[in-house]
């Protein structure tokens, strides 16, 4: 199975997927840590894919999304964005809306706390 086929299968069989450097419990870069931290704090159930463990997946995800950087968040098979986009969406409430529209459970109070802390 090619890296592209693996990636397609991962993003279509999991509701929320974060392609990141490291894991959700041990991120290995600041940007991955920030996005995983937001998802963890908000109680979002997601699959974490450590791109450092597989060079083909690391390059493959960049080709798949046509996005040059890691981390990359996917919800219901759709590419959402990287660290800056997820940060902006969290602070604006857009991430809450997108998760709600896609039936993904999360802690609304935790999302509000993130916004309060960054106001």
Q: Which residues are annotated as a binding site for [2Fe-2S] cluster?
A: 29
Note whether 98 and 80 are within 8 A (CB).
Answer: yes
- Residue entry with tokens 């991120």: 27
Q: Distances in Å between the alpha carbon of 37 and those of 1, 50, 68, 86?
A: 31, 15, 21, 11
Q: Who contacts 79 (Cβ-Cβ below 8 Å, separation ≥6)?
A: 65, 67, 72, 73
List the binding residues. 29
Write the DSSP symbol of residue 29. Answer: S
CA atoms within 13 Å, Cβ hemisphere of 15: 12
């Amino acid at each position: 199975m090619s890296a592209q086929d693996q990636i397609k299968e991962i993003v279509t069989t999991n509701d929320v997927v974060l392609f990141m450097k490291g894991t959700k419990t041990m991120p290995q870069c600041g940007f991955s840590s920030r996005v995983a931290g937001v998802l963890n704090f908000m109680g979002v159930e997601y699959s974490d894919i450590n791109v450092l463990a597989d060079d083909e997946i690391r390059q493959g995800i960049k080709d798949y999304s046509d996005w040059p950087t890691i981390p990359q968040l996917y919800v219901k098979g759709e590419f959402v964005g990287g660290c800056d986009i997820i940060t902006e969406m969290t602070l604006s409430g857009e991430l809450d809306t997108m998760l709600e529209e896609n039936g993904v459970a999360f802690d609304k109070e935790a999302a509000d706390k993130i916004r309060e802390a960054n106001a």
